Amino acid sequence: MNKTVNINLANTFFHIDEEAYSKLRRYLESIKRSFSGTTGSEEIIADIEARIAELFAEKMEHDRQVITQKEVDAVIAVMGQPEDYMVDEDIFEDAPKNQTQTTTKRVKKLYRDIEHKYIGGVCAGLEHYLGFDALWIRLIFVFLTIFTTGFWILIYALLWILVPEAATTAQKLDMRGEPINISNIERKVKEGFDDVAEKVKNVDYQKVGNQVKSGSKTIFDTIGDIFLFLFKIVGKFIGILMILTGGATLIALFIGMFTVGIIDIIHFPGVDLYDIINTTGAPAWVVSILVFLVVGIPFFFLLYLGLKILVNNLKSIGSVAKYTLFGLWLCAIAVSTYLIIRQAAAHAFTGTTTETKEYVLNSSIDTLTITMATADHLDFENSVSLDDLRMVYTDDGEPILYSDEVHFDIKKATDSLLQIKIKKDADGSSFDEARNRSELIDYNHSYADGVLTLDNFLTTQKESKVRSQEVRNTIYVPVGTIIKFSNNTKNHIGRSTKNDKDFYRSKIVDYQWVMDSEGLLKCLNCPEDPKIEVNGSFNIDESGIDINVGDENGHVKIGENGIDIDVKDEGESVILKIDENGIKLKAKDNNN
Q: Which helix (H) or strand (E) holds 116?
A: none
Domain ranges within the chain, ordered by starting residue: 1-94+185-204, 233-345, 355-523, 537-589
Strands 572-579, 582-589: parallel, antiparallel or unpaired by DSSP? antiparallel
Phi-psi region for residue 150, left (φ > 0), alpha (ψ -120 to 50) or beta?
left
Return the DSSP state at 513: E
The per-residue pLDDT for range 558-578, each reduced to its tens digit, is: 777 777 777 776 666 777 777
Q: Nearest-5° angle of CA 550, CA 553, CA 555? A: 75
Rounded distance between C-alpha atoms, residue 307 and residue 325, angstroms: 18
Rounded distance between C-alpha atoms, residue 410 and residue 454, angstroms: 13
Please give the full DSSP string across 457-489, using - where no structure is assigned. Answer: -EEEEGGG--S--EEEEEEEE-TT-EEEE-GGG
Cβ atoms of 92 and 186 closer than 8 Å: no
Q: Given this model, what pLDDT does residue 418 score?
A: 92
CA 523 vs. chain centroid, Å, equals 51
Say if residue 553 is exposed, middle or buried (CB neighbours under 10 Å; 0-12, 13-18, 19+): middle
Phi/psi at 16 (5° precision):
-140, 140
Q: Given this model, what pLDDT does residue 590 score?
A: 55
Q: Given this model, what pLDDT does residue 345 score?
A: 85
What residues contact 216, with CB distance under 8 A and at least 6 apart? none
Q: Given this model, what pLDDT does residue 266 score?
A: 66
Task: State the distance between the two ends of the chain, measured CA to CA, in whole angstroms.
Answer: 134
Q: Given this model, what pLDDT does residue 189 score?
A: 57
For the chain, the maximum distance between any two Cα atoms, rounded to a whole number of angstroms, is 134
DSSP lists the bridge partners of residue 425 as 352, 470
Rounded distance between C-alpha atoms, residue 165 and residue 58, angstroms: 20
Return the DSSP state at 361: P
- Four-residue CA torsion sign, 191, 193, 199, 201: negative
Nearest to 390 by CA among 376, 404, 377: 404
Cβ atoms of 382 and 269 closer than 8 Å: yes
Strands 544-548, 537-541: parallel, antiparallel or unpaired by DSSP? antiparallel
Q: Nearest-5° angle of CA 308, CA 312, CA 318? A: 55
pLDDT one digit per residue (tens) for the chain, 592 residues: 678 888 888 788 888 888 888 888 888 888 888 777 666 677 777 878 887 888 888 777 666 678 888 888 888 887 777 665 544 444 344 444 444 444 455 577 888 887 777 777 888 888 888 887 888 888 887 888 777 766 777 787 778 777 888 877 667 777 777 765 555 655 555 555 555 445 444 444 444 445 444 554 556 566 666 766 777 777 778 888 889 999 999 999 999 888 877 776 666 555 566 777 777 778 888 888 999 999 999 999 999 888 887 877 777 787 888 889 999 999 999 999 999 998 888 888 899 999 999 998 877 777 899 999 988 877 777 666 666 678 787 877 788 888 989 999 999 998 889 999 999 999 988 899 999 999 999 999 999 988 999 999 999 988 888 888 999 999 999 999 999 999 999 889 988 888 888 888 778 888 999 999 898 999 998 887 655 555 666 677 766 777 776 655 677 777 777 777 777 766 667 777 777 777 777 766 655 4
Distances (CA, A) of 266 to 260, 269, 271, 279: 10, 9, 10, 21
- Helix (H, G, I), strand (E, B), or coil: what is residue 190? helix
